[in-house]
Amino acid sequence: MRHQCQDPARPWAWLARICQREAARVAARRQAIPLAEPPDVAVPAHEDEMVDRLAVGAAVAGLPALDRVLIALRYGHDQTHSRIAAGLALPEGTVKVRLHRARRQLRPLLSDDD
């Protein structure tokens, strides 16, 4: 394969193309991890708990779609940041930042101060 490099003194373009093809090959083989269905949740015994669940559901429904998925995976399915990142093909830092911002948006909506 080295013999295919047309300019051995400057192999960077040749090497870059090899890297591009390998990255495309790996990306094509990557399979999306299907999200499991949320578990059936038993009906809460207390009315206050039901109201809290409805409030959380309504607040989360107001988030962008990706943030809703991240919240569901992190807190509903108890997934780690790295596992969420791998499953959604996102950088782990992106997952952490998006979750932080989503929690920051939810905090005033769910506070007991009012």
Q: Which residue has the higher pLDDT, 8 or 59?
A: 59
pTM: 0.55
Q: Is 72 helix (H, G, I), strand (E, B) or coil?
A: helix
- Per-residue pLDDT of 39-79, as tens digits, reads 565 655 677 777 777 888 888 888 888 888 998 889 888 88
Read off φ and ψ for residue 30, nearest 5 degrees.
-65, 130
Which residues, including other chains, have CB under 8 Å from residue 13's CB and lie 6 or more apart? 7
Q: Which residue has the higher pLDDT, 13 or 74?
A: 74
Q: Would you call 112 exposed, middle or buried from its count of C-beta atoms within 10 A (0-12, 13-18, 19+)?
A: exposed
User: If pLDDT is split at 50, 70 and 90, which confidence band does 93 have?
Assistant: very high
Residue ranges per structural domain of the chain: 1-31, 47-110
Q: Average pLDDT in the 12-22 region? A: 81
pLDDT above 90: percentage of residues in the chain: 17
Whether 103 shows a pLDDT value over 80: the answer reads yes
State the amino acid at position 56 in one-letter form: V
The CB density around residue 73, as the number of other CB atoms within 10 Å, is 21
Q: Domain 47-110 adopts which CATH fold? A: Arc Repressor Mutant, subunit A (1.10.10)
Q: Which residues of 38-67 are buried (b: 16+ CB within 10 A; e: fewer)?
A: eeeeeeeeeeeeeeeeeeeeebbeebeeeb
